[in-house]
Every structure is written in C-alpha cells, then in structure tokens.
C-alpha cells in the first residue's frame, strides 16, 4: 500500500502521520501508545489532574507531628494550613503527557478541622493549553502521637542516678547533668529521632535522678558526666515488661558515682605528712598540688580518684589576706584572717613575692597559701 495513513483506533478517523522521532519516543510501558488516538478521542478521555475526594490527616495536637505511612513524622510545619498544602501536593497527580505544568492552591479554612484546598492547574498537551480546577477537602484529626502519649504517661526506659562518693553532688555537677541530658536529647531530636526525650528530672537527698526515654540516652548522659567530672558508672538492667511482640523490655539504671573530691577541694591525705593537697583533677587518678610547696601530687593507680583522705575545705573558703613579709625560700608571713596576727606559713612555689595579698585557707591543718582561683584547674 502506497497510502500509509494512520487511523484513530477508537473512531477510525485518519490521524496525521507521526514523525519517526515521535514513534521512537513511544513509551514501551504504555502499550498501544504507538498508535495515536485522534485529538477528539484523546481529549475525550483525557484526565489532567487526579485528585482524591478528600484527605484525612492525623496531626498530633501536642507537637504537630503528622502521621505518614505508618509512623509519626515531625514535619516542622508552622500551622495546619502548611500541613494541608503538603498533604495535597503529595496526593495530587497530573497526566504525564502534560508539559509546562503550573499550579497554585488557595486554602479555605472551613472550620477548625477542615481546610478546603482550591487547586488551579494549567499546562499544555498536544499543543493545546489545558486547565483544571479541583477542590480537595483536608480533614484534620487531632490526636496524640506515640511520643507525646509516652511523655504524658511518664514513660521512661532508663534512669541516670547522679551520686557522689562520700558526699552529695555539688550544684555545679547536678546543673551540668541536667544541661547534658537536655543537650543530648536536643541533638538526637535534631537528627529526626522522635523517641528521644527527658521524662523527668528529680532531686533526691543524695543527688539527682534523670528519667529518659531510651537506654542509649541514659548511657550517653552517664558517659558525658564522667568524661567531665571523673567517677564511675554501674549499670543494672531490670526486666520491666514484654512489648506487644513478646520481646522482653529492660529498664537500665545507670548509677554515676562522681569522685569524692572535686577540683578546688583541699584535702589532707592519711598516712602522709607532706602537707594538704589542692585537688586539680579527679579524672582517673586524683591529681593536685601540695599547698605547702606547690609540688605536684598524683594518687597511686590503686587509689585512683579516692585515696584515703579528709577534706579540709575548698578554694572558695579561702580568705584574701595581707602578706606581711617574705622570710626566706620556704617561709612567708601573712595575717591570720581570723586573729589578724602575723603568722609564719610555708611558702609554696606558686607564691608571688610581689603580691600584697594572697588567698589563704585556715583549717584544722593550719594556715595555707592557695594559688589564685584560675590556677585550681589541672592545666591541659
Ligand atoms: Zn478518534
Ligand atoms: Zn506529639
């Protein structure tokens, strides 16, 4: 046949021959696409926009998370309109043949839980401009997500107990523990972890209890605490229950035991007459300086952070007092801050001979010159 005209498979009308390029571009995934319908038949069944009759969205009334697929997701939406727009754009689809598709949406708040989305589409298909308007009602169901439900139900999987050996933790230590807990949770939330939260922080007679949502968070808090303050961690598992799938659920208690002495403490070591020690670090072995000479002190490996000792006071107890005279290499006279009598005390090597006043600590071990405040931390 010399006449190679094509015909519409639907109505039999002749259709213009397609170029070879177009024929090659026929989509193998759409059988029959190699034979074109005439424009009339094509537009007859052409459906520009595919839209659902309505969209139901479950939103957590507490945190704004949206239920997607089979889980709650933080969408970072400012309000329910943002959520509705997001959901509608996910749910709408346009015909693949249409080029230059543009659309806009006008949300209409119908009532507290219904937003009607008026969507206007334009595009070009077969050289013909097309447009369509669809209206999709979005119904917002306010619920409580799993996380908020757990928070409200005081759920926790782990307790971190902040304690200290032979003393109660300082307010600096407990405040830092709270800060660490919140920082760790905030970091995990920032990576999209919805299961991270602090359930409760409570003071006890001997320290602080921090209840958190996962064992991992408990472990992180504990590790960070001893990284900063020294000390040890003991963890103990308790079987709490079985979950829906029959798996055993353990709650882990992390007992953080901070070292007995903290930087700034002045202690007197048992069986030792080399003079009191100003503690500078409790990481690993206790380290400090002798307040009689300024020499370095470090506890044995076996003693670790808790050598046998008694606390005499701390740097904060020191009083600034007048230097009366420097006697020699080993001795200096200062005013006793209580009696105002000139008193000879040992001269540590951190003593500044030009200083008019120095901090001194008066304790049952006598009067000792301490270094200035900034020098109480272990140099790094
Ligand atoms: Zn036709
Ligand atoms: Zn929530």
Judge if 282 and 356 occupy the same domain.
yes
78 Cα to the center of ligand 2, angstroms? 14
Q: How far apart are the first and last CA of the chain?
A: 94
150 Cα to the center of ligand 2, angstroms? 9
Q: Which ligand is nearest to the CA of 144?
A: 2
Segment 164-180 mean pLDDT: 95
Q: Tell me the pTM.
A: 0.68
Is 234 among the domain residues? yes
**How many distinct structural domains can be found in the chain?**
4
Segment 60-68 mean pLDDT: 88
Q: Which ligand is nearest to the CA of 41?
A: 1
32 Cα to the center of ligand 1, angstroms? 14
- DSSP alpha helices (H): ranges in 10-91? 20-24, 39-45, 80-91
Judge if 79 and 111 occupy the same domain.
yes
Residue 279 has pLDDT above 90, yes or no: yes
Is 380 among the domain residues? no
Residue 208's domain comprises 154-258
Measured on CA atoms in the order 177, 179, 183, 186, is the torsion positive or negative? Answer: positive
Percent of the chain with pLDDT over 70: 92
How high is the pLDDT of residue 69?
Answer: 82
163 Cα to the center of ligand 1, angstroms? 84
Which residue has 């069944």 as its token pair? 45
Judge if 135 and 159 occupy the same domain.
no
Judge if 125 and 60 occupy the same domain.
yes
Judge if 239 and 158 occupy the same domain.
yes
- CB contact at 8 A, 111 and 105: no
Strand, helix or coil for residue 173: helix
- Provide the edge-to-edge strand list for the sheet that holds 277-281: 296-298, 287-290, 277-281, 265-269, 309-314
Alpha carbons 36 and 7: distance in angstroms, whole number:
8
How high is the pLDDT of residue 161?
Answer: 98
Give tens-digit pLDDT for 236-265.
Answer: 998 877 777 777 778 999 999 999 999 999
Segment 328-352 mean pLDDT: 94
Give tens-digit pLDDT for 120-144.
Answer: 999 999 999 999 999 999 999 999 9
Which residue has 């760790």 as its token pair? 184
Is 40 among the domain residues? yes
Longest dimension (CA), the chain: 129
What are 92's two structure tokens?
């709408």
157 Cα to the center of ligand 2, angstroms? 18
Is 56 among the domain residues? yes
91 Cα to the center of ligand 2, angstroms? 23
Give tens-digit pLDDT for 3-35.
Answer: 557 888 889 888 876 654 554 444 545 444 556
Which residue, 229, 187, 234, 196, is CA-closest to 215? 196
38 Cα to the center of ligand 1, angstroms? 4
How high is the pLDDT of residue 1?
Answer: 42
Is 59 among the domain residues? yes
Domain final residue pick, 258, 291, 326: 258
How high is the pLDDT of residue 2?
Answer: 43
Judge if 135 and 185 occupy the same domain.
no
Contacts of 327 (CB under 8 A, 6+ apart): 333, 344, 347
Averaged pLDDT score across all residues of the chain: 88
Beta strands per DSSP E along 270-330: 277-281, 287-290, 296-298, 309-314, 319-326
Judge if 29 and 122 occupy the same domain.
no
Q: Which ligand is nearest to the CA of 36?
A: 1
Judge if 250 and 269 occupy the same domain.
no
Which residue, 44, 37, 46, 33, is CA-closest to 12? 37
96 Cα to the center of ligand 1, angstroms? 20
Is 148 among the domain residues? no
Judge if 64 and 26 occupy the same domain.
no
268 Cα to the center of ligand 2, angstroms? 54
Judge if 236 and 320 occupy the same domain.
no
For 160-195, give one letter per residue: b (16+ CB within 10 A) or e.
bbbbbeebbbeeebbebbeebbeebbeebeeeebbe
Judge if 286 and 339 occupy the same domain.
yes
Residue 378 has pLDDT above 70, yes or no: no
- CB contact at 8 A, 267 and 259: no
When pLDDT is cut at 50, 70 and 90, the band that residue 73 belongs to is confident
């Amino acid at each position: 046949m010399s006449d190679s005209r094509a015909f519409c498979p639907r109505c039999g009308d002749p259709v213009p021959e397609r170029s070879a390029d177009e024929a090659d571009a026929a989509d193998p995934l759409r059988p029959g696409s190699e034979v074109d319908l005439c424009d009339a038949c094509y537009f007859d069944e052409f459906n520009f926009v595919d839209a659902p009759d309505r969209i139901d969205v479950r939103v957590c009334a507490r945190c704004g998370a949206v239920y997607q697929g089979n889980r709650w997701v933080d969408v970072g939406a400012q309000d329910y309109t943002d959520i509705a727009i997001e959901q509608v754009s996910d749910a709408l689809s346009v015909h693949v043949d249409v080029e230059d598709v543009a659309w806009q949406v006008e949300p209409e708040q119908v009532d507290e839980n219904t937003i009607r989305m008026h969507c206007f589409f334009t595009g070009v298909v077969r050289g013909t401009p097309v447009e369509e308007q669809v209206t999709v009602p979005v119904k917002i169901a306010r619920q409580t997500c799993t996380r908020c439900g757990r928070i409200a139900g005081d759920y926790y999987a782990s307790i971190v107990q902040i304690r200290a050996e032979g003393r109660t933790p300082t307010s600096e230590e407990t405040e830092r523990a709270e800060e660490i807990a919140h920082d760790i949770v905030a970091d995990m939330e920032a990576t999209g972890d919805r299961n991270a939260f602090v359930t409760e922080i409570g003071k006890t007679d001997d320290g602080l209890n921090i209840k958190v949502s996962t064992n991992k968070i408990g472990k992180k808090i504990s590790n960070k605490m001893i990284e900063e303050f020294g000390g040890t961690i003991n963890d103990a598992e308790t079987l709490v229950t079985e979950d829906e799938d029959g798996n055993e659920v353990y709650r882990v208690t992390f007992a953080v035991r901070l070292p007995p002495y903290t930087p700034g403490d002045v202690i007197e070591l048992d069986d030792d007459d080399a003079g009191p020690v100003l503690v500078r670090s409790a990481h690993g072995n206790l380290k400090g300086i002798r307040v009689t000479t300024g020499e370095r002190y470090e506890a044995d490996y076996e003693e670790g952070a808790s050598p046998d000792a008694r606390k005499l006071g701390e740097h904060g107890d020191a009083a600034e007092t007048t230097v009366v005279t420097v006697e020699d290499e080993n001795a200096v006279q200062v005013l006793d801050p209580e009696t105002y009598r000139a008193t000879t005390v040992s001269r540590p090597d951190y003593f500044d001979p030009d200083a008019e006043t120095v901090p001194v600590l008066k304790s049952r071990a006598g009067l000792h010159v301490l270094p200035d405040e900034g020098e109480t931390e272990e140099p790094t």
